[in-house]
Amino acid sequence: MIVSPEEYRRRLGKLNPKIYINGERVTDILDHPVTRTVVEANAKVYELAQDPRYEEIMTTTSPLIGEKINRSLHICQSNHDLEMRAAMALLTSQKLGTCNYRCPGCDVLNGLASITWEMDRDLGTGYHRRLLEFARHLQKGDLALSGGVTDTKGDRGKRPLGQDPDMYVHVVERRSDGIVVRGAKQHQSGAYASDWTLVMPTAALREGEEDYAVAFAVPNGEEGITYICQFNAYSAERLFTDDPHLLGNPIYGQRETSLVIFDNVFVPWERVFMCGEVAYTQRAVARFAKMHRMNCGGACKVGFADLIIGAARLMAEYNGVERAPHVVEKLTQMVHIRETSHACAIAAALKGREEPEGSGIYLPDDIYGNVAKLNTCYGFWELMALAGDIAGGVVVTMPSEKDLQHPEIGEYVRKYLKGTVPAAERMRIARFLQNWVAGLHGVATWQGAGSAQAQKLTLYRLFDFDSRREMVKELAGLKDEGEGDRS
Amino acid sequence: MIVSPEEYRRRLGKLNPKIYINGERVTDILDHPVTRTVVEANAKVYELAQDPRYEEIMTTTSPLIGEKINRSLHICQSNHDLEMRAAMALLTSQKLGTCNYRCPGCDVLNGLASITWEMDRDLGTGYHRRLLEFARHLQKGDLALSGGVTDTKGDRGKRPLGQDPDMYVHVVERRSDGIVVRGAKQHQSGAYASDWTLVMPTAALREGEEDYAVAFAVPNGEEGITYICQFNAYSAERLFTDDPHLLGNPIYGQRETSLVIFDNVFVPWERVFMCGEVAYTQRAVARFAKMHRMNCGGACKVGFADLIIGAARLMAEYNGVERAPHVVEKLTQMVHIRETSHACAIAAALKGREEPEGSGIYLPDDIYGNVAKLNTCYGFWELMALAGDIAGGVVVTMPSEKDLQHPEIGEYVRKYLKGTVPAAERMRIARFLQNWVAGLHGVATWQGAGSAQAQKLTLYRLFDFDSRREMVKELAGLKDEGEGDRS
Amino acid sequence: MIVSPEEYRRRLGKLNPKIYINGERVTDILDHPVTRTVVEANAKVYELAQDPRYEEIMTTTSPLIGEKINRSLHICQSNHDLEMRAAMALLTSQKLGTCNYRCPGCDVLNGLASITWEMDRDLGTGYHRRLLEFARHLQKGDLALSGGVTDTKGDRGKRPLGQDPDMYVHVVERRSDGIVVRGAKQHQSGAYASDWTLVMPTAALREGEEDYAVAFAVPNGEEGITYICQFNAYSAERLFTDDPHLLGNPIYGQRETSLVIFDNVFVPWERVFMCGEVAYTQRAVARFAKMHRMNCGGACKVGFADLIIGAARLMAEYNGVERAPHVVEKLTQMVHIRETSHACAIAAALKGREEPEGSGIYLPDDIYGNVAKLNTCYGFWELMALAGDIAGGVVVTMPSEKDLQHPEIGEYVRKYLKGTVPAAERMRIARFLQNWVAGLHGVATWQGAGSAQAQKLTLYRLFDFDSRREMVKELAGLKDEGEGDRS
Amino acid sequence: MIVSPEEYRRRLGKLNPKIYINGERVTDILDHPVTRTVVEANAKVYELAQDPRYEEIMTTTSPLIGEKINRSLHICQSNHDLEMRAAMALLTSQKLGTCNYRCPGCDVLNGLASITWEMDRDLGTGYHRRLLEFARHLQKGDLALSGGVTDTKGDRGKRPLGQDPDMYVHVVERRSDGIVVRGAKQHQSGAYASDWTLVMPTAALREGEEDYAVAFAVPNGEEGITYICQFNAYSAERLFTDDPHLLGNPIYGQRETSLVIFDNVFVPWERVFMCGEVAYTQRAVARFAKMHRMNCGGACKVGFADLIIGAARLMAEYNGVERAPHVVEKLTQMVHIRETSHACAIAAALKGREEPEGSGIYLPDDIYGNVAKLNTCYGFWELMALAGDIAGGVVVTMPSEKDLQHPEIGEYVRKYLKGTVPAAERMRIARFLQNWVAGLHGVATWQGAGSAQAQKLTLYRLFDFDSRREMVKELAGLKDEGEGDRS
């Protein structure tokens, strides 16, 4: 089932989630200047799925319902699926200049699909069956799914039970008809504009921490859920303006997240997909991470890189310096960064494999997904630096585009901010670029899908040092095989 | 003469400069939320000069008037003067978290002092005498001086005369009593809150471009001058807020610049310090740059680095991770960046020399000043990346501090955003850091005092490759001397 | 046809190529301490092709002769072929710790196969047919093929005809039965231990430079060919030693190259594969480069990285510091570098395509191949630095392993150079690592398969900036489509 | 006292130290191809001290004997002394292209001077008086002094007493007339060609490890001392060649070190400068390190950088590419690296201070000395990479210069390896550069004067995080002072 953007907006308009921003309740999610950007970004994802040019990327046929679905709701069945999943992340970034908010939900769905299959196989539980049932429900309605992973953690030097027990989402009551959960998930991209949120643990858990080993789905607007939105200068700018066309990303805005509070939320058993199985939490997190590092960490940021490169190139042309050797060198370095992350994401998709064997579920290669993200971590700040270098100080010191139209000073602005093109165009692209190089993207890109340190730990753990040691000993003549070679 | 902050504010309040921001005229520079930050930063510089703890750094005795003056108005007479000049840049950055807006004026004054001495010596002009007279005037009133250097440039692929002739500030009329100038200077930090602005060319000029070889001083509020302020998300945030205490840098704000329009401004001859001497423009620019790269490019950003390091360390503590080896490694890397730029600025000051010989005017060593700035260019983005890494995603996804006090959701925020300290403190520092890692500072630091490319050109030009070639030939045995060594 | 290492050695022993090293003629290529390393490396490649464990990687069935062949002689027909070609480069590097000397020949063969197909199609020439005939000959005998690309160039500021005309290999006479060529190819890995060398131009040529647009094959030992070997400290060490087991790479040595002189060498027409078609030279070079950057630039160095990582890890263990956080961090960074290059090489193989369409010949994706090499350029020096950091100064200050056995001082060495293992093992691995971090590999890896600058030029040329500009304009609202989105 | 190089050689020739290289005893240190390079480097340092052009740098007047002395034997008394000490390190590197082997002895002497003054003051010991007496002896004879610091350490995961007790040099017997010491110092630059070696601990020691807290001086040739030389490819090349003029650094060679064994060496009390005072070991090491990081870590490598830059520039000219923008960019980057380390070393000297107060002994600033070294660590590998990039593959693949003179192939070499200059010059500089980019320098520069990790630990320990935290709190409004500012 593929629904229209209008249908999505209509459906969302019927909900009444508790959303706060800057101390005020948001009463109309569709119209509020900030929340509207999330709705419009989601709507664009619905629109792209209807666009024949993007059909292969944005849609597929679900084996669960036998119908065409938005790829955001698909559980990957092949390397081609993985490749298209990454391609979707790249395409939506190019088209939105912000988050495809259906992305984390997709990756949680895939991660849980794999681990629930394994739990059912090993433990005889029914989690996988329940999850597939939930997936069918989403696919049949083309519902927007968000994913909730990152706990608030409190004192990171302590585990869940060594401090305020609510720092990690956990079960506070087990009832015959379901469970009651409490806690909060932070950095939640677009949760308030989704139909459902799929929640899973953020970290490997140990014996004794069973209450924290919990995965479940909740509908938007559920009793006990409150969204407290991020608020920063870019939020203020959008709230303050009377003309969003003058903002850096006029329609889709910056990546909007919220702190999602679960205050004793009831979840019926049919929407519980893990409950107490601490031994599976590490693998659950790792499988979600495989998907998310390739997609959010890798391919998505490649699309952002395209926008930064395109804007830097435009500014170079508008400034009349696009042929200067140092500008060419810098643009080339930007391309290098972009293509490195892209190559890693592609390798992650094409060298992915069925996991667990027999499940029919495909996940990306873990090492390549992690290097995709790690290269993005380092490369993205460099992209920002290079773009700011090429474009010049005007990117951060420019007047408002309102000054352009002003009866008294408009002439000055048009005169003095022109380059090889009129000031209006140059300022438009400078503002666009400001959004990328003087805003949230540096930190957000680094931390999104896990900090660099998380990728490093994974790489160190995954790398087979033993086989390399053996190669060395053989060549150096420290092994019998090496001896044989000498003869 | 050292005046109080109040006296500065009182004096400024009498002026009525034409200032526009986001399409609106600013009518009270002392109270307007944005322009007020510049006034307060300047006022703090006046205050620091009265503080006995900072007397050696912030003040000196002028040989021109024989009185104690603010070091911002001093023409350096020794290596110690240069060292204290850099120390002032560092101190004010630590205290303000933004620009000491008297800095560029000081550096233009020193650069012009050197080149006008040389012009008078070579050409028999009277520029240096005029400049000293002007300096005495400033010193006697402890007036705030801004500097104007960067032209708008239009198409950077063309020279001043190959395009709209107003893209560089130039003389449009020479009269018996003075000159009339037209053009605009961009990225002008704090010009509208100064008493005077001292203007000089931005680039080396050639024969035929004499109209552009012009340096002069204009009082704030002069007929024909208009300031069009920068406008960005942080401007909007400040305009939008009803409580500036909740902003990242509550009192002093971000670095505020404006586009300063000179629309046929008359300047009497006694305030003209260069007019037509194209042969001296390259040296004029180079001497200003020596000062500004050491101060603005080097020492100032070392002070900013202190704030970023301090905040990153606080966040590490508040998150409970300050002892994690990777956090210690990252803090150490931040210290490394900070101390490298500082060492380069110190070397620039202590290895500076009288220039021209006999002038009594001291300028920093050019190579070390340039590497100070170049290391800052590369290092500052890395500082931002490291700080964002250490502090975590909360730096860009945090709710407003207003949510903290909200009757319904305040409890949630206090609960879920606490770390090892209450949420109020953690959020305050996170907001402080947001101002550094998700705002203008990356690009501004790169471009301020000249882009990295400018430093590179200077380094390549200054480096004595010949002597190194000779060393190599001697050691390699390609010279007679080398032959001698072999015997 | 797959022959044994012995057969290869036997065949080679019958030849009498003119080889000089350090001013002396090499009379027995099989036994000379330096040339022997090349022979042994080649022999190992023959051996690996007989090893059932490596069958899929090292061999395939040739469509030209319908028999199993060494993959070094295969013209790739699919993405799987490309992937296995890269896998062969990786495997042989792990097994040899030096060049698989059959690699450049393979890549020239593939590059020429593609361009000759295109020339025959466009121009009606018979080059492709001749080349396939030559390939059949190689495959039927399992002959070792070397590739010759890099000209000596003389003054790089000048083109072939603006200086001594022999600085680039060129045709000096066209005869009815063939051509006569003159010039030299430098940096030729392993040419003197191959059966044949396949030569092509090194750069794009213009009209008027037809004599330089020449590709051909010559047998080893041909009249007019002289090999002048590289000579450096590692050559001297090998010549000097009486026990090669004490060297860093005992059997296979460092990468050995020579300057190959073509002094009026006659080539019959059936072994001429390009002669005068300047319009095809740029594409010819690009297609060879696609292969070689993926293989030599990317995958091969991934195998070397494995050896460096393995040895660094061993030294960390032998020093007792393998758990120190900074050592773990550095090993992780080494893994990051290794996996990034590997991911890029894999993407190059799996996203490669048929070129020209209809030819049945597959070449790697150009962008990913180039980033594979470029990441290797930067990463390899960093690997060396990190390995040297982890292993410690002993890697460059260690005594000879002969000192270990010395009756008087052996006890001292065994006592004082032990770590967590006996000194003999620790010194063996330190010597192995010395070969990597204190020898030719830094520069050789940077320059091999083209300098970083070559990759940068390619990346800039290949990147589609236009489509990115359009994305930006659409999002920024500078296009009609963008307008439509706003409604 | 300043003696001539001849006098130094004569004196050295009378000694008969036990030196082994590659399993063979060195019988004539003055003539042996390897040890001779160390003698010649030392002799050159004697020669430079007699050269009037270098008088200020190479000599000073000793307050101990009231005579002119070689600065290598001076205990610094001022910032100017420190600056000249660093200048000496730079100059000798430029002149030698290898170690000034008198450098570590000088730095140990200064470090011990400071700590022995403090011990005498605190503990009433007589170490300082003894050390000054020893210094006078050295100065009166202009004797070459080596320094011994780095122990062999064995298992670095264990302390001295947790393993073979000889892994660190220590006292094995205390007698009425002196002590007996055992152990070994590794990486000892030039010890065997010095008159004396001054030994101190390598690390901070704890209670119970008193035997290891030992500093003393021993004459070269003392009973019980054996030198086992490093041996690597460059050693072999020098042993093997019949014409050292063809080597990369013909006269002075690579940095030669040895493993110095102390097998029950007796030291009379008047040459013991610490014995058991574990509480002072950390400071002793730190003070030596201050000197050595500025000199060996910083200034010395700046001189090496000059040689690498000079040679890279020559090769660019010889290749005809010195004006290519990417070559200019790379040379500029090399200059940037060079000047950064130099600026840091200068700041270390000029911001150094008397330590302890009242001692009259000046030591460099610790932070700047450490960043000098740390920037060198990172920068030197980059210099090598850039030089190899600019110069081209010929740097590692060139034939021997013997081939140039060969009757048969000499013509080929002269023809094909010429650039814009004859092949002889181009090959000479390529060989010179090979010594820098394909040898020991990368690892040696990183590890010399302590690994990067040592500098990082020092920086983290020295940096005053508290004051930065306070600055942040004040600006962010988290302090009472901040409150005051708001009013």
**Which pLDDT score, from 0 to 100, does residue D479 have?**
78
Which residue in chain B is spatially nearest to D467 when comparing CA positions? B310
- Give the C-alpha distances (Å, rounded to integers) separating C306 from A93, A468, A470, D35: 35, 6, 10, 36
Q: How many CB atoms lie within 10 A of CB A270?
A: 15
Q: How far apart are the first and last CA of chain B?
A: 68
Between CA B162 and CA A190 the distance in angstroms is 51
**Which pLDDT score, from 0 to 100, does residue C481 have?**
44
Instruction: Identify from C18, C166, C170, C232 which residue to disrupt to test chain D contact, counting D C-beta atoms within 10 A and taking the largest count.
Output: C232
Nearest to A371 among C95, C340, C368 (CB): C340
Q: Which residues of A touch C477 (CB under 8 A)?
A: 245, 250, 428
**Which pLDDT score, from 0 to 100, does residue A100 have?**
97
Check if B329 contacts C (Cβ < 8 Å): yes
Q: Which residues of C touch D445 (CB under 8 A)?
A: none
**Overall average pLDDT of the D377-397 stretch:** 97
Q: Are B179 and B173 spatial neighbours (Cβ–Cβ below 8 Å)?
A: yes
CB contact under 8 A, B432 and D468: no
Which residue in chain A is spatially nearest to B410 when comparing CA positions? A23
**Overall average pLDDT of the B202-221 stretch:** 97
Check if A326 contacts D (Cβ < 8 Å): yes
Q: Which residues of D367-387 are buried (b: 16+ CB within 10 A; e: fewer)?
A: bbbbbbbbbbbbbbbbbbbbb
Q: Are C138 and C271 spatial neighbours (Cβ–Cβ below 8 Å)?
A: no
Nearest by Cα to A220 from A105, A368, A57: A105
CB contact under 8 A, D368 and B346: yes
CB contact under 8 A, B388 and A438: no
Cis peptide before D250, with omega less than 30 degrees from 0? no
**Overall average pLDDT of the D215-239 stretch:** 97
Between CA A441 and CA A447 the distance in angstroms is 10
Between CA B185 and CA B208 the distance in angstroms is 21
- The tens digit of pLDDT for each residue in B22-77 reads 999 999 999 999 999 999 999 999 999 999 999 999 999 999 999 999 999 999 99
Which residue in chain C is spatially nearest to A485 when comparing CA positions? C251
Between CA A221 and CA A199 the distance in angstroms is 15
CB contact under 8 A, C326 and B329: yes
Which residue in chain A is spatially nearest to B431 when comparing CA positions? A232
Q: Token digits for C420?
A: 């967590």
10-residue mean pLDDT profile of chain A (487 residues): values are 97 96 97 98 98 98 98 98 98 98 98 98 98 98 98 97 97 98 96 98 97 98 97 96 96 97 98 98 97 97 98 98 97 98 98 98 98 97 97 96 96 98 98 97 94 94 97 90 39
Nearest to C419 among D21, D154, D416 (CB): D154
Which residue in chain B is spatially nearest to A228 when comparing CA positions? B399
CB contact under 8 A, B346 and D350: yes
Among C residues 446-465, those touching chain A with beta carbons less than 8 Å apart = 456-457, 459-460, 463, 465
- The more confident residue out of D483 and D278 is D278
Among D residues 95-124, those touching chain C with beta carbons less than 8 Å apart = none
At residue B472's C-alpha, the angle toward residues B466 and B476, to 5°, is 150
- Residue B160 amino acid letter: P
- The tens digit of pLDDT for each residue in D38-55 reads 999 999 999 999 999 999
Is it the case that residue B481 has pLDDT exceeding 70? no
**Which pLDDT score, from 0 to 100, does residue A479 have?**
78
On average, the pLDDT of chain A sits at: 96
Q: In angstroms, what separates the C-alpha of D131 from chain B's closest C-alpha? A: 33
Is it the case that residue B483 has pLDDT exceeding 70? no
Bridge-partner residues for B170, per DSSP? B182
Q: Which residues of B touch A411 (CB under 8 A)?
A: none
Which residue in chain B is spatially nearest to A401 when comparing CA positions? B22
Among C residues 123-142, those touching chain A with beta carbons less than 8 Å apart = none
Is it the case that residue D484 has pLDDT exceeding 50? no
Check if D367 contacts B (Cβ < 8 Å): yes
Q: Which residues of D touch C391 (CB under 8 A)?
A: 443
Q: Which residues of C touch A330 (CB under 8 A)?
A: none
Nearest to B336 among D346, D374, D473 (CB): D374
- The tens digit of pLDDT for each residue in A286-323 reads 999 999 999 999 999 999 999 999 999 999 999 999 99
**Which pLDDT score, from 0 to 100, does residue D486 have?**
35
Pair type for strands A225-229 and A170-174:
unpaired
Check if C332 contacts B (Cβ < 8 Å): no
- The tens digit of pLDDT for each residue in C293-318 reads 999 999 999 999 999 999 999 999 99
Specify the DSSP class assigned to residue A299. Answer: I
Instruction: Sort residue B276 into left (φ over 0), alpha (ψ -120 to 50) or beta.
Output: left
**Which pLDDT score, from 0 to 100, does residue B480 have?**
52
Between CA D403 and CA D411 the distance in angstroms is 9
Among B residues 155-214, those touching chain A with beta carbons less than 8 Å apart = 155-158, 164, 166-167, 184, 186-187
Check if B279 contacts A (Cβ < 8 Å): no
| % of chain D with per-residue pLDDT over 90 | 98
* Segment holding A284, helix H or strand E: helix A281-292
| ipTM for the whole predicted complex goes beyond 0.90 | yes
> Which pLDDT band, with edges at 50, 70 and 90, does C480 fall under?
low
Nearest by Cα to B96 from A396, D472, A393: D472
Check if A325 contacts D (Cβ < 8 Å): yes
Q: Are A334 and A365 spatial neighbours (Cβ–Cβ below 8 Å)?
A: no
**Overall average pLDDT of the B400-415 stretch:** 96
**Which pLDDT score, from 0 to 100, does residue B377 have?**
95
Check if B332 contacts C (Cβ < 8 Å): no
Nearest by Cα to B287 from B275, B274, B301, B304: B274
**Overall average pLDDT of the C85-111 stretch:** 98
Task: Determine the 3-state secondary structure of B473 from DSSP.
Answer: helix
Q: Which residues of D touch B94 (CB under 8 A)?
A: 471
CB contact under 8 A, C329 and A429: no
**Overall average pLDDT of the C216-227 stretch:** 97
Q: Which residues of D touch A329 (CB under 8 A)?
A: 325-326, 329
Q: In angstroms, what separates the C-alpha of B479 from chain D's closest C-alpha? A: 11
Q: How far apart are the first and last CA of chain D?
A: 68
Among A residues 242-261, those touching chain B with beta carbons less than 8 Å apart = 257, 259, 261
> Would you give the distance in Å from CA B39 to the centre of its chain?
16
Instruction: Identify from A150, A151, A232 which residue to disrupt to test chain B contact, counting B C-beta atoms within 10 A and taking the largest count.
Output: A232
Between CA B41 and CA B193 the distance in angstroms is 10
Q: Token digits for A70?
A: 């938005």
At residue D473's C-alpha, the angle toward residues D469 and D477, to 5°, is 175
pTM above 0.90, yes or no: yes
CB contact under 8 A, D444 and C393: yes
Q: Which residue stretches of C61-176 are H helix?
A: 79-96, 103-123, 127-141
Q: Token digits for C214?
A: 């020449």
Which chains form contacts with chain A, at 3 or more CB pairs under 8 Å? B, C, D
Task: Determine the 3-state secondary structure of D263 from DSSP.
Answer: strand
Check if C326 contacts B (Cβ < 8 Å): yes
Is it the case that residue D480 has pLDDT exceeding 80? no
- The tens digit of pLDDT for each residue in B84-121 reads 999 999 999 999 999 999 999 999 999 999 999 999 99
CB contact under 8 A, B233 and A229: no
Q: Which residues of A172-207 are buried (b: 16+ CB within 10 A; e: fewer)?
A: eeeeeebbbbbbbbbbbbbbbbbbbbbbbbbbbbee
Bridge-partner residues for D145, per DSSP? D196
Q: Token digits for D425?
A: 């010059």
CB contact under 8 A, C22 and D403: yes
Q: Which residues of B touch C329 (CB under 8 A)?
A: 325-326, 329
Nearest by Cα to D475 from B35, B43, B307, B37: B307
Maximum Cα–Cα distance for chain A, whole Å?
Answer: 91
Between CA C33 and CA C30 the distance in angstroms is 8
Between CA A425 and CA A245 the distance in angstroms is 13
Q: How many CB atoms lie within 10 A of CB C466?
A: 10
